[in-house]
Amino acid sequence: MNSLKVLDVTLRDGGCVNEFNFGQSYMEKILAAQEAAGIDIIELGYIDENKGSSVGRTQYSDEQVIKKSILKNKKTGITYVAMIDYGKFNIDNLHDYTEDGIDGIRLAFHKKDRFDVIELGRKIISKGYKFFVQPMITLRYDDRELIEFIELVNSKLPDAAGFYIVDTFGEMRPNDMNRILHLVDNNLNSDIPLGFHSHNNLQMSYSNAISLLQFPTNRDLMLDCSIMGMGKGAGNLNTELLLEHLNLFYGKKYEISPLLEVIDKVINQLHDEFYWGYAPEYYLSSANGCTPSYASHFYNKHMLPIDQVGELLAMISEEKKISFDKNYAEEIYRQYNESKAVNDATVVEELTAAFAGKTILLVAPGKSISEHKEKIVAVSEADDVVTIGLNTVTDSNDYLLTTRKDIYDSAVASGKNVIVCSNISKGGRGNVRILNYSNWIDVDDRTHDSSSVIALNLLKACGVKCVKLAGFDGFSANINENYFDPNMRRPVTIEQAERRNKYYKEFINRIKEGGVNVEFITPSKYE
């Protein structure tokens, strides 16, 4: 290679983890660490005229905000850039370059928009900025398309500051790197630097970076990375690991200690609150060639085993894979579950008769059922009470209503009276009552198919007038507060916990308004 530069994306790609809400103090500490480390190019965030802010976030309303909010003292020898997603900012509103502002713009775009990028790139360059070409999901270009686009860049944008290979979904393997590197290097104008941006879904970011470094070329190279790999889903190439490698084998003199210090004082705190890093669902998103947002959406429902998350990802159509569509995700989630339909009229009649004149005690798996065990037992022993455990197996439950395949299989094997929906089981065995999935869920902008929702909808339909709730604790971002059984714990963010608590409170109030007397016998955030 001729020269090699490192571009750190922590404040931009890392911002995808926390909605860019770093806060001013953390923004400044991260930037100071990047500068002290001697990073060649620092990406300060996104420019987005609709979602951008003027303070405290790294998603800015325009480039002037960057200069006012964070880029107050530029360091000599460092290039400062920002990214624009195609269609998110009107380039005509970009002010001309000034020495005290950002130096360059990275324009990210999907294949369908590639021809429009040429004109935008010329406008950006005419305003005095360095311009970087960022074709997202580069693997989606076939050889002919990629070569034709490169030739267009060569003729119309020969002064581009960089052309990138972008592994948006972290799906590139060594053979992909070899093919794409040869295509780009052999066809791109030799004066245009070649960059590589990766994601770590397959844990290949580091090895793919090494492949680029070892590739025989005389052109200038750029490698993207982020501190501690901070980035959406599985994250990115780790800056601290890359810099150490470059110091050891390429004669670089980067300072690692400022990065370790900011990891200790800032990034670790963010990681505790906003997890990123390798996880099976991100591997599955890569294997299915789609944005990891789908994998996160399905997995965070905590309703399906991981293999069924993979089946859902395989259902996503090609045109929908590149950008997350929540409504579409909910549609295929329901389609997947509703495909296993049954006629449950007889089951509902049977349960209506069994519950007639009874008070129903629903025992959910909240942590409070351990603390209030004696009270729950006392209520359950009354003659007019029928007890239904919700994903909660105890000897005192008359029924178990479950939405989990593992609990269902165990309960059937032990001869429990089981109520289950058709998405879990289509064939009744022993004392199994199967409900038609689509009849008992609740749908707004999301699909709510928890055991609590199904049970309360069922009891209302059965004409039950009195329901007592135990273990309906509500959700906390503290993973240790949510379930009596540690095996059921799943991480939730503050936003997820608050959204779920708000939904269940409103849902239970709707059940009450429908004529059911609902009483909490253990503490609950839903009251």
Which comes out higher in pLDDT, residue 277 or 393? 277
Q: Which whole-number Å values give the CA distances from 179 to 14, 183, 202, 215, in the listed order?
A: 29, 6, 18, 11
What pLDDT, on the 0 to 100 scale, is given for residue 491?
73
pLDDT band at 428 (very low <50, low <70, confident <90, very high): low
- pLDDT greater than 90 at residue 18: yes
Residues 6 or more apart from 212 whose CB is under 8 A from it?
A: 177, 181, 196, 221, 223
Q: At what angle do helices 326-338 and 292-299 cross, to 10 degrees?
A: 50
pLDDT band at 411 (very low <50, low <70, confident <90, very high): confident
User: Does CATH number 3.40.1170.10 belong to domain 4-273?
Assistant: no
Residues 6 or more apart from 305 whose CB is under 8 A from it?
A: 405, 406
- pLDDT greater than 70 at residue 502: yes
> Dihedrals φ, ψ of 108, to 5°?
-95, 140
Distance (Å, whole) CA 177 – CA 185: 12
Coil vs helix vs strand at 361: strand
Percentage of residues of the chain with pLDDT beyond 70: 99
Helix count (H) and strand count (E) of the chain?
20, 18
Coil vs helix vs strand at 305: coil
Q: Which whole-number Å values give the CA distances from 211 to 143, 182, 195, 205, 279, in the listed order?
A: 20, 12, 13, 10, 24
Q: Calculate mean pLDDT across residues 209-227.
A: 96
Distance (Å, whole) CA 163 – CA 131: 9
Distance (Å, whole) CA 164 – CA 195: 4
Residue 434: how many other CB atoms lie within 10 Å: 22
Distance (Å, whole) CA 284 – CA 307: 9
CA neighbor of 447 nearest in space, from 316, 370, 334, 350:
334
Residue carrying the six token digits 């996880």: 279
Residues 6 or more apart from 38 whose CB is under 8 A from it?
A: 253, 254, 255
CA atoms within 13 A on the CB side of 213: 18
- pLDDT greater than 70 at residue 429: no
Domain borders along the chain are 4-273, 280-338, 345-520
What pLDDT, on the 0 to 100 scale, is given for residue 479?
75
Residue 203 burial class via C-beta count within 10 angstroms: exposed 0-12, middle 13-18, buried 19 and up: middle
What pLDDT, on the 0 to 100 scale, is given for residue 201?
95
